[in-house]
Amino acid sequence: MHRSSFALTLLAACALPSVAQAQDWNRRISDVRIVHPPGTPPGTWRVTASVEGVVTDNVPVPSSLAFELHLLLNGVDIGVLPSGPLDNQNGPSCFYSSSCHVAQPCNGLFNGAGNIPGICFYGVTGVGPLPVCGCMTLIGDYDFGTYSSDLRTTDTLGVHLVAGPGSIPELDTSDDNLDLHVPDNVLGTVVCAGDGATTPTPCPCGNTGTSGHGCANSQNAGGALVVATGWTQADPLTGTDTAVLRGSLMPATSSAIYLKSDALNAAGSVFGDGVSCLTGSIIRLRTKINVGGASQFPEPGDPSLSVRGATPPGSGLTGNYAAYYRNAAGTFCPPATFNISNAVSIVW
């Protein structure tokens, strides 16, 4: 998953006490990923986790905010990472009231080596009647290191945050744990989005899509979205990968062709009503008929993504995937009647 919408998601997901309370802060695990390090043997994996936090001027200075991250496999603790020293010794300096320094840099937290910067925000938190002015910080991306064991579709990996000794208590700890079922793991990196920022080539008729999506289509102004979930390594229960491409926000019953390329043109080029970066050797994985604007590859009975795309698990090859779909509304961005989603790049 990444953090272009950090401010909005944090406002929605972090429950902070009101400014009348002393412990006016929160931290949360915002993302957990399972990755296969390229060039390592099959069955090798790593877990990374992102931790975010909010602290206001109302928190006593200095206060320890240190924690440990614990990695669990099916409920069994298999690893721990300390955050090290972590406090607010320099204060966020965002201020309360309407003079809150919205969108301005602030001293988020101090990790013993220097300040971890943040951004000031002001908004209703959902806990108590008062708005909160505080400093949002990406505390860090944590890597638990390499493990060598087969992961199965029945496995669950969890990352749990535990307050360190002397750490000031949080009033909301509901977002301190994040459990990830292996089939739900988000794979790859979004590339070639028609959002006006990711790809230099603009959408052909000003039909810019939402961040990370393809260009807008006649039924969804945000544009089609393809995400990949699962695990690139062979599952010992099935003998193959569990990766799935999931397309959504396309016209309701249109056809969609899932594509794979072995190269990317980073600049992109106009492709129907959208922008495509796929180049090199291109494989048509399968044609699917959308239901409610959504479809996926593979489905039961289809070959796996690694088999159909000729990217063996552990090979280190990169596959780039997108959905090319019918958009037959002739008055929308004429003269083309087709469009394409964003692309997802996966290292096998």
Alpha-carbon distance 136 to 105, whole Å?
9
Average pLDDT for residues 121-129, to the nearest whole number? 55
Torsion region of 171: left, alpha or beta (phi above 0 gives left; psi -120 to 50 gives alpha): alpha
- Residue 14 near residue 138 (C-beta atoms within 8 A): no
Residue 179: beta bridge partners?
158
Lowest mean pLDDT segment, chosen from 64-73, 123-132, 198-207, 240-249: 123-132
Q: Which two tokens stand for residue 202?
A: 């603009």
- Cα gap 20→253, rounded to integer Å: 53
pLDDT-derived band at 98 (thresholds 50, 70, 90) equals: low
Domain ranges for the chain: 3-181, 187-347
In this prediction, residue 97 carries a pLDDT of 61
| pLDDT score of 271 more than 60 | yes
CATH topology of domain 3-181: Immunoglobulin-like (2.60.40)
Q: Are 239 and 282 in contact (CB under 8 A)?
A: no
Number of continuous H segments (helices) and E segments (strands) in the chain:
2, 19
First-to-final CA distance of the chain: 18
Classify domain 187-347 at the CATH topology level.
Immunoglobulin-like (2.60.40)
Residue with tokens 């056809």: 255
The confidence band for 6, taking pLDDT boundaries of 50, 70 and 90, is: very low
**pTM exceeds 0.85:** no
Domains 3-181 and 187-347 share a fold: yes
